[in-house]
Chains A and B, each alone.
Chain A
Amino acid sequence: MGVPISIKSLSFSYGNSKEPAIKDINGEISEGELVVIMGHGGAGKSTLCYAMNGIVPRFYKGNYKGNISIGGKNATGFSIKEMAGAVGLVFQDFEAQLFSTNVELEMAFGLENLCLPRDEISGRIDKYIDFLGLGGKRLSDTSTLSGGQKQRLAIGSVIAMEPSVVVMDEPTSDLDPLGRVDILSLAGLLRDRKRTIIMVDYDPDTAIGADQLWLMKDSEIIGQGRPEKYLSDEKLLLSCGVMPPQTLSLFNRMGWEGKPLTVEAAIDLIEKNNLVKRHSLMRDAKNHTGNNNFFIKVRGVCFRYPGVDSDVLKDINFGVKRGEFIAILGQNGSGKTTIAKHLNRLLRPTSGEVIIDGKPTTRYKHNELARLVGYVFQNPDHQIFASTVQEEVGFGLKILGEDPKTIKRNVEEALAVTGLEGYEHRSPFVLTKGERQRVAVASVLAVRPEVIILDEPTTGLDYQHQKESLEMLKDLNKKGHTIIIITHSMWIAERYAHRCIVMKDGKILDDGVTRQVFADENRLSEASLVPSPIVRLSNWLGTDAMTVEDLAEELKLQ
């Protein structure tokens, strides 16, 4: 059963920082409600979650004012054990939340801490394991689970303690689209059981059926109430770094009546008001245009890790032309990162070969390859080490033996392109995630490789920052760099990539011009992918456009 939560003029600043992380937060949540919190990066969403669970101010010390009452009791008055039974907290990073050897031990961990007798623990696991969809996995090693299953288990290990309130801080940001659906359906089930749920998310879709939407900006709540009211306010959402529902943006641009938040609602309105005629889209049969002058050729590549019996990659063939912008799509574990790492020889094929500019990668010298293909890793913390941004960005050039003048020039240029001018002498460690991400891109850029590969460059960034990074890549692409991104974000692939490679189970499922790949919704669903609302609408209408702007233009011309 849920309990009501009441927050009264809550403010908090971390440690000795003068800047508050959250400022004057107020809110009333009735029992059994679903509250969705959205906002830009650094708006204070996580801090608010931590405050509900007491991690702020118990774990993170700082200046705490105001109060949160949970079921009538002050949040700071709970002991660790009482709090675990009252408010469960699920984090974005599921890897750090799972630390047990198998599924049942993971679920038992919290219950052991509550000192429940052994048979009761076992009873609780029985009670929740099917609910989590992990029934057949009770004794499985947690590392063998998929991303969605891992996050389900993380949630399950919290709800097994039967807290009245479940707080989830971006539980789907690290997941592929299928994992995301997995988690949202689990949240729905929890809601049916009358738990109070507070969820931070980036997609307005999640908020549509919620009881309340809280919009955060610069440490404050600037909108609080029924979701419909705020979701139709495009400007407000954008100012909070949230992507407005695409169908709504389209209707606004076209000057059509109605405020559809979903594709289904949009289609209903279009049919009812006879707004526009449907066409059948003529599809070009041939996928690749003209020449076969490939800069990179991947030929029959198979790959397996040593000591493992099954192939991670099975007979991969494709080519990359100079100047292309390619998106590699697919579920977690489908082999996207593995194939990308073959392109700069971080991994060597078990059989087959990768040819760059007419020469197999195995015959390149190390520093030659670094100049041809740059690779930006998903987590910038895996590479940042220097004490200043300038030093960090110049590192690649320095070890490749460039002279100080060239280093200085290239670093300046890379910082300019990534919008990091003025950051030269700052320490990269104190920057925000988005800024660190850009430092990582700049440090690859400074070497000026012909091809730049980026592994999920937008994870953990809000809409505004995602857009900025992608616009930057688009500019680089225009200047002649070949760009390859691995992404879970459909709108990014639709809007920016010329070509998409869809992977499934270590094989290429589809490879072609983006518009055509996204026209075949059935095939995409085989890889558990769903186009974004605007492309689904465009498919239904039979139009060519893949963005709100283009679709509006195309429809106006008709």
Chain B
Amino acid sequence: MNLSLYQDKGTWLHNLDPRTKLIGVAIVFIICLCFNSPIYMAIIAFSVFAIALSARAQKALWTLRYILLLLIVFSVILWPFFTTGKTLIWSWGFLRLTKESLFYGIAMGMRLSTFVIAGLILLSTTKNEDITNGLIKMGMPYPLAFAFSTALRLVPTFVGAGATIVQAQVSRGLDLESKNILSRFGKFIPLAVPMFITAIRYTNRLSMALESRGFSPESQRTLYYEPVMKIKDWLILSFMLILLIICLYMRIFLNLGVVMPGRL
């Protein structure tokens, strides 16, 4: 089973320069931080979602559906209790639920999911090597860029190993379905130890394989897939920048899209 997020589809997003996508994702992150009103966040979230669909990243989204759901549910439930607004809806003892804080919670849920979706778009349309090359071209030192992309590359490998380890222990009688949190903690060791051992053995073999192919982190190397900025990359980047400026202006000078003033 292939657990990697990259989807080899060849959509317009696949063909962009990795730098455009990396900067684009950063801009989306900042735009998300501009507003905390559910309506504004909804517009941003749905635009990003539409881009994800146009990049045919549905499969990657589906893989992470539980994480997205958790983010939304927890934000909506938890945020209202840590922030205070003016319009009281409901209270019980020291717990107070206000309209503003509820809206804020919903907005935060959408903000976090938008972060995840934007990141997913990048990962499902950009080869790991392209991310490395993009980071290097933007001036990141090679060892750092390589470590970053290798970490990304290893996630699916370790998820796969983790699934096997769970199965191996379950078939010995380990019951992961019981509800007791305390007893669950005791079950952590039989899973964590093999996970570490497997990871250490794997990375050891990987680094030998890297070295056998003449890899050393400090030295220069050719980039076989050299990223090239095309006109459409510049157009998209300019558009994103203008959008960012407009959003910053709306928030800072017009104070639009805010349900909870004084907060990001």
- Cβ-based interface call for A175 (8 A): no
- Cβ-based interface call for A385 (8 A): yes
> Are B175 and A366 in contact, CB atoms less than 8 angstroms apart?
yes
Q: Tell which of B168, B190, B210 has the most Cβ of chain A within 10 Å.
A: B168
| Residues of chain A within 8 A of B165, CB atoms compared | 382-383
In the assembly, what is the distance between CA of A385 and CA of B153, in Å? 26
> Are B164 and A382 in contact, CB atoms less than 8 angstroms apart?
yes
> Are A395 and B172 in contact, CB atoms less than 8 angstroms apart?
yes
In the assembly, what is the distance between CA of A104 and CA of B225, in Å? 10
> Are B164 and A399 in contact, CB atoms less than 8 angstroms apart?
no
| Residues of chain A within 8 A of B198, CB atoms compared | 379, 381-382
- Cβ-based interface call for A88 (8 A): yes
State which of A81, A97, A117, A400 has its C-beta within 8 Å of the C-beta of B214: A81
> Are A370 and B171 in contact, CB atoms less than 8 angstroms apart?
yes
Residue of A nearest to B187 (CB): A399
- Cβ-based interface call for B170 (8 A): yes
Stretch of B11-19, B99-107, B200-208, B249-257 lying at the A interface: B200-208
Residue of B nearest to A113 (CB): B214
In the assembly, what is the distance between CA of A384 and CA of B225, in Å? 42
Residue of A nearest to B129 (CB): A105
> Are B129 and A374 in contact, CB atoms less than 8 angstroms apart?
no
> Are B209 and A382 in contact, CB atoms less than 8 angstroms apart?
no
| Residues of chain B within 8 A of A385, CB atoms compared | 189-194
Counting chain A residues whose Cβ lies within 8 A of the other chain, the interface size class is: 35 or more
Q: Which of A87-104 contact B (CB under 8 A)?
A: 88-89, 91, 93, 95-97, 99-102, 104
With both chains docked as a complex, state the minimum distance between the C-beta of B216 and any C-beta of chain A, in angstroms. Answer: 5
Residue of B nearest to A140 (CB): B8
In the assembly, what is the distance between CA of A157 and CA of B193, in Å? 33
> Are B129 and A100 in contact, CB atoms less than 8 angstroms apart?
yes
State which of A93, A371, A399 has its C-beta within 8 Å of the C-beta of B205: A93
> Are B212 and A55 in contact, CB atoms less than 8 angstroms apart?
yes
Counting chain B residues whose Cβ lies within 8 A of the other chain, the interface size class is: 35 or more
In the assembly, what is the distance between CA of A225 and CA of B177, in Å? 59
- Cβ-based interface call for A208 (8 A): no
Assuming A59-B207, A85-B214, is B172 touching A113 (CB within 8 A)? no
- Cβ-based interface call for B59 (8 A): yes
Residue of A nearest to B176 (CB): A366
- Cβ-based interface call for B1 (8 A): yes
| Residues of chain B within 8 A of A122, CB atoms compared | 224
Q: Tell which of A80, A85, A444 has the most Cβ of chain B within 10 Å.
A: A80
- Cβ-based interface call for B91 (8 A): no
0/1 per residue, B92-135, Cβ < 8 Å to A? 00000000000000000000000000000000000111000000
> Are A105 and B127 in contact, CB atoms less than 8 angstroms apart?
yes
> Are A429 and B212 in contact, CB atoms less than 8 angstroms apart?
no
State which of A100, A308, A371, A399 has its C-beta within 8 Å of the C-beta of B175: A399
Q: Which of A369-390 contact B (CB under 8 A)?
A: 370-371, 373-375, 377, 379, 381-385
> Are A382 and B168 in contact, CB atoms less than 8 angstroms apart?
yes
> Are B214 and A84 in contact, CB atoms less than 8 angstroms apart?
yes
In the assembly, what is the distance between CA of A143 and CA of B194, in Å? 24
Binding site for A on B (CB under 8 A): 1-2, 4, 6, 8, 59, 62-63, 127-129, 150, 153, 157, 161, 164-165, 167-175, 177, 189-194, 197-198, 201-202, 205-216, 219-226
4 smallest CB-CB distances across A and B, nearest first, come from A84-B214, A385-B193, A110-B213, A370-B173
